[in-house]
């Protein structure tokens, strides 16, 4: 028996949003390698080896983005992205507290990025799970 139409719409929306988040994460991860300077500059001064941290976070952004597209890795990738968003949060706070690091980004936008991390967390968790099979499909 086919799933209800609302389930089809939700599944299609989840697939689209998963692909969008995956593309964003891969693109940002690639930027960490192609143009690391802006990312290095926002790492808090108290953190060791900013360049290494940028490369590591870029690697995990790419890995998480690709992982969202692999059904067997999807849930782990979504949890990994949540951990990544939490790990880079101090850099976002640092950037908001030191607007010159934002290189022309308006102050309001620097502060708007802070709650955006929680949106990204919810997004990653939502696209990383599959809906439970309906009772009709389990028979």
Residue 131 burial (10 A CB sphere; 0-12, 13-18, 19+): exposed
Over residues 88-123, the pLDDT tens digits come to 999 999 999 998 888 888 989 999 989 999 999 999
Closest by CA position to 41, among listed 105, 84, 85, 86? 105
- Name the residue ranges covered by the structural domains of the chain: 10-129
Res 105: pLDDT:
87
Question: How far is the C-alpha of 127 from the C-alpha of 118, rounded, in Å?
Answer: 14
Res 5: pLDDT:
56
Res 68: pLDDT:
97
Average pLDDT over residues 21-47: 97
Q: Say how far residue 17 (Cα) sits from the centre of its chain.
A: 12
- Residue 134 in 3-state DSSP? coil
Res 137: pLDDT:
47
Closest by CA position to 101, among listed 91, 115, 86? 91
HSE-CB at 41 with a 13 A cutoff on CA atoms is: 13
Q: Which is more confidently placed, 8 or 3?
A: 8
Res 65: pLDDT:
98
Res 104: pLDDT:
84
Both tokens of residue 85? 């968003």
The neighbour count for residue 126, using CB atoms within 10 Å, is 14
Res 20: pLDDT:
98
Over residues 52-94, the pLDDT tens digits come to 999 999 999 999 999 999 999 999 999 999 999 999 999 999 9
Res 3: pLDDT:
53
Q: Is the pLDDT of residue 43 over 50?
A: yes
Question: How far is the C-alpha of 67 from the C-alpha of 126, rounded, in Å?
Answer: 14
Res 136: pLDDT:
42
């Amino acid at each position: 028996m086919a799933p209800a139409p609302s389930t089809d719409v939700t599944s299609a929306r989840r697939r689209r949003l998963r692909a969008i988040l995956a593309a964003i994460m891969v693109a940002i991860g690639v930027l960490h390698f192609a143009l690391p300077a802006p990312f290095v500059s926002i790492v808090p001064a108290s953190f060791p080896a900013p360049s290494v941290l940028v490369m590591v976070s870029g690697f995990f952004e790419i890995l998480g983005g690709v992982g969202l597209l692999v059904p067997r890795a999807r849930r782990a990738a979504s949890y990994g992205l949540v951990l990544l968003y939490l790990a880079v949060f101090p850099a976002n706070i640092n950037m908001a507290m030191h607007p010159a690091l934002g290189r022309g980004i308006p102050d309001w936008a620097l502060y708007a990025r802070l709650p955006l991390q929680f949106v990204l967390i919810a997004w990653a968790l939502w696209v990383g799970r599959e809906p439970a099979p309906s009772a009709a499909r389990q028979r």
